[in-house]
């Protein structure tokens, strides 16, 4: 087994299994990438979770989505979606409209300000992703994506 992760986390004993090492390696990689992403978004007063919501709503177009649909599409689940959307609405990035036919149904849409913010971030975010995976051949990235999908399929 590789010692690279063991060295990074200063673990002196071997991992109990290849599965344990893979699990911890995925978690460690996500933590490193997520931290770098959060740091890159800080100047925009935006968190990775908020960025994810904006991308989802941009993809939804004019129709928007209800809160539940937004949360189903999130990369990582959040415990208090309503407060998250409240903060984003207060920032002017999204708007919510209550249905007149069914007052329980609220549609969330990205605002022009939210679209402008994403447009401004598109290139820097793409550059950051390229930097993180620089040196990894495209075929290896495709293999990684497929392997991770295989791991997620039965979870």
DSSP string, 106-152: EEEEE-HHHHHHHHHHHHHHHHHHHHHTTTS-HHHHHHHHHHHHHHH
117 close to 46: Cβ distance less than 8 angstroms: yes
Q: What is the domain extent for residue 17? A: 1-44
Please tell me whether residues 39 and 62 are part of one structural domain: no
| 3 and 58 share one domain | no
1: pLDDT strictly greater than 60: no
Instruction: Check whether 105 has a pLDDT greater than 90.
Output: no
Query: Is the pTM of the predicted complex or chain greater than 0.85?
Result: yes
Question: For 124-146, what is each residue's pLDDT tens digit?
Answer: 999 999 999 999 999 999 999 99
Q: Higher confidence at residue 8 or residue 44?
A: 44
**Same domain assignment for residues 26 and 96:** no
User: Does the pLDDT of residue 98 top 80, yes or no?
Assistant: yes
Is 74 within 8 Å of 56 (Cβ atoms)? yes
CATH number of the domain encompassing residue 58: 1.10.10.10
Distance CA 61, CA 56 (A): 9
Instruction: Mark whether 136 and 109 lie in a shared domain.
Output: yes
The string of DSSP letters for 87-113 reads: HHHHHTSEEEEE-SS-TT-EEEEE-HH
pLDDT at 102: 81
Instruction: Report residue 86 as tokens.
Output: 């409240």
Q: Read off the pLDDT of each residue in 96-118 and give the average, rounded to a whole number.
A: 92
Q: Same domain for 116 and 40? A: no
Number of separate domains in the chain: 2
What average pLDDT does range 31-45 have in this prediction? 96
- 81 and 145 assigned to the same domain: yes
Helix (H) or strand (E) holding 40: helix 18-41
Residues 83, 110: one domain? yes
- 107 plus 65 within the same structural domain: yes
39 and 52 share one domain: no
More confidently predicted of 110 and 1? 110
**Is residue 9 located within the same domain as residue 58?**
no
> Which pLDDT tens digit goes with each residue over 68-85?
999 999 999 888 888 999
Q: Tell whether 71 and 124 lie within a shared domain.
A: yes
């Amino acid at each position: 087994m590789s010692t690279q992760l063991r060295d990074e986390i200063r673990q002196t004993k071997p991992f109990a299994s290849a599965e344990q090492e893979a699990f911890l390696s995925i978690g460690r990689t996500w933590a490193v990438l997520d931290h770098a992403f959060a740091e890159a978004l800080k100047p925009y007063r935006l968190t990775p979770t908020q960025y994810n919501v904006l991308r989802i709503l941009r993809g939804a177009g004019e129709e928007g989505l209800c809160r539940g649909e937004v949360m189903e599409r999130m990369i990582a689940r959040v415990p208090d979606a309503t407060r998250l959307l409240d903060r984003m609405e207060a920032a002017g990035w999204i708007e919510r409209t209550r249905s007149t036919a069914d007052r329980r149904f609220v549609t969330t849409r990205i605002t022009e300000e939210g679209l402008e913010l994403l447009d401004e971030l598109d290139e820097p975010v793409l550059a950051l992703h390229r930097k993180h995976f620089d040196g990894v051949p495209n075929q290896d990235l495709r293999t990684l994506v497929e392997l991770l999908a295989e791991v997620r399929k039965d979870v």
